[in-house]
A and B are shown apart, each in its own frame.
Chain A
Amino acid sequence: MSGVRVLVGTRKGAFILTADAKRANWKISGPHFAGWEIYHLKGSAADPNRLYASQSSGWFGQIIQRSDDGGSTWHQPGTPEGESTRTPEGMPKGESNKFVYDTSPETGKPLTTHQWYDGTPHPWEFKRVWHLEPAQGDPDTVYAGVEDAALFRSVDGGRTWHELAGLRGHGSGPHWQPGAGGMCLHSIIVDPMNPQRIFIAISAAGAFRTDDGGKTWQPINRGLHSLYIPNPTAEVGHCVHHIAMHPSRPGRLFMQKHWDVMRSDDAGESWHEVSGNLPTDFGFVIDVHAHEPDTIYVVPIKSDSEHFPPDGSLRVYRSRTGGNDWEPLTKGLPQNDCYVNVLRDAMSVDSLDQCGVYFGTTGGQVYASADAGGTWNAIVRDLPPVLSVEAQALP
């Protein structure tokens, strides 16, 4: 591996951080798309220079951006700079920003309502893309998790998007409700050994799994216990913050829930709590070591109303046993007067021999550890609030 590229989405643009394999000296490029919210950007495993970015604003809606050169240049898929802005048939391009719920009788589902914060019915409305997940073997296939919660897929490099409507059309849809950040589909994990199996998570509906490439879905929330909903063990309604999986063990899932850190050893059929000795089991991120499938990381946050680390001390917690036994990792992290948050998509690992771990904060710092969490350094300290972090090991 020649080095690492870290893709950082923030409230006011995207930044690309690069370093050689030592990960000691970093170059910072950006802001890309300055002034826009970049909820997520991610590279393709099949072609590391193929990047996708979700650019959005409350004013001007959703834009999908793509780079084919590792982030040096960007274009809206289907509308590269200098090319005709019309198709040979004369139709304007610009379809890459179009996310339309599928209500067609052939493949779609009727648009029902979901629950609003106060429990009243609320119509489904597209707002933004929260997460982009390129498929393992094909840089032109990419999944998009959106708000209001639904899963879309593009098989033409982001030019057009089609909803996998079976998920939104699951019978439980009218009982889903938004979390504080909106009713978002934020986690997408495609089983590397079986692409027909996809796991997703929605705040606040829970986790779901398909075993037929997205046609049909089942909720996988058995074992979750959420005191903040009327029925704490309901089939849906749980505020899942993030899920993670190691590619070598696709049946084992880890979850950071609103409260509780959870693990499933049977592809989500059942969950059990592994919060163990964490100082608080509220938090947003969870991730798995690139080479040790039982080594996981979380950043405990004080509570659902106090979104900052306990005692003003920023600590990553690592478990080498798949949970329950946790150790604080503090070297290089601020241990006094630190009141930042680490949002759900803002942690990532690289796959260099010595696994690198990265996370970004709402205070604009991006921290990196080149020794699996033993020591930390801030790559950059003063970015806008960080929404997402994705690390790529470069060939």
Chain B
Amino acid sequence: MIRVTLPPHLRKLARVDGEITLAVMGEITQGTVLDALEAHYPMLCGTVRDQVTRKRRPFVRFFACGQDLSHESPDAPLPNAIASGAEPFMIVGAIAGG
């Protein structure tokens, strides 16, 4: 199971508390993790990435294992620690005041 953390706004929208876990089929990439996230929590469709272009929203960033993966290809394999469930895939809202 893949562990995913969401920013507070999206946790509230998805009606979840804390970390969530997802079953992801096939290779573990940003794209497949987000596909699984949106399939299980359709109310998040369009919030992390654009529904049409599938591009990450500019103020959303991805972190895992102490690395900023925001600019990695969505098709690149995520670190093994994510795939094994040892570490969470972190979806974070950029800090910009307000």
| Distance of B91 from chain A, by nearest CB (Å) | 10
Q: Does A105 contact B (CB under 8 A)?
A: no
Q: Does A36 contact B (CB under 8 A)?
A: yes
Output the nearest chain A residue to B10 by Cβ-Cβ distance.
A60
Q: Does A319 contact B (CB under 8 A)?
A: no
- Chain B residues contacting A34 (CB-CB under 8 Å) are 12
Output the nearest chain B residue to A101 by Cβ-Cβ distance.
B52
B9 contacts A85, CB within 8 Å? no
B39 contacts A61, CB within 8 Å? no
A81 to B89, CA, bound (A): 26
With A93-B42, A97-B46 already in contact, the answer to whether A60 and B51 are too (CB < 8 A) is no
In the complex, per-residue mask of A244-269: 1 if CB is within 8 Å of any chain B CB, else 0 = 00000000000000000000000000
Q: Does B60 contact A (CB under 8 A)?
A: yes
A43 to B38, CA, bound (A): 29
B42 contacts A61, CB within 8 Å? no
B13 contacts A63, CB within 8 Å? yes
Q: Does B94 contact A (CB under 8 A)?
A: yes
In the complex, per-residue mask of B53-65: 1 if CB is within 8 Å of any chain A CB, else 0 = 0000101100000
B47 contacts A63, CB within 8 Å? yes
A60 contacts B9, CB within 8 Å? yes
Query: Which residue in A58, A62, A76, A100 is a CB contact (below 8 Å) of B59?
Result: A58
A60 contacts B47, CB within 8 Å? yes
B43 contacts A76, CB within 8 Å? yes
With A92-B45, A97-B45 already in contact, the answer to whether A81 and B94 are too (CB < 8 A) is no
Q: Count the A residues whose beta carbon is within 8 Å of the partner chain — how many?
A: 22
- Chain A residues contacting B40 (CB-CB under 8 Å) are 85
With A35-B9, A59-B60 already in contact, the answer to whether A98 and B43 are too (CB < 8 A) is no
**Which residues 68-93 of A have a CB within 8 angstroms of B?**
76, 79, 81, 85-86, 92-93
In the complex, per-residue mask of B12-46: 1 if CB is within 8 Å of any chain A CB, else 0 = 11010000000000000000000000111111111
A94 contacts B94, CB within 8 Å? no
A86 to B38, CA, bound (A): 11
B46 contacts A94, CB within 8 Å? yes
A59 to B46, CA, bound (A): 11
With A35-B9, A97-B51 already in contact, the answer to whether A62 and B42 are too (CB < 8 A) is no
Output the nearest chain B residue to A90 by Cβ-Cβ distance.
B39
A100 to B51, CA, bound (A): 9
Q: Does A49 contact B (CB under 8 A)?
A: no
Output the nearest chain A residue to B35 by Cβ-Cβ distance.
A92
Output the nearest chain A residue to B15 by Cβ-Cβ distance.
A81
- Chain A residues contacting B10 (CB-CB under 8 Å) are 60
| Distance of B55 from chain A, by nearest CB (Å) | 12
Interface residues of B (CB under 8 A from A): 7-10, 12-13, 15, 38-48, 50-52, 57, 59-60, 93-94
For this complex, 9 residue pairs linking A to B, each with C-beta atoms less than 8 Å apart, are A35-B8, A36-B9, A59-B60, A60-B48, A61-B57, A63-B47, A85-B42, A97-B43, A97-B46
Nearest 6 pairs of A and B residues by beta carbon: A94-B42, A94-B45, A60-B47, A59-B59, A93-B42, A97-B46
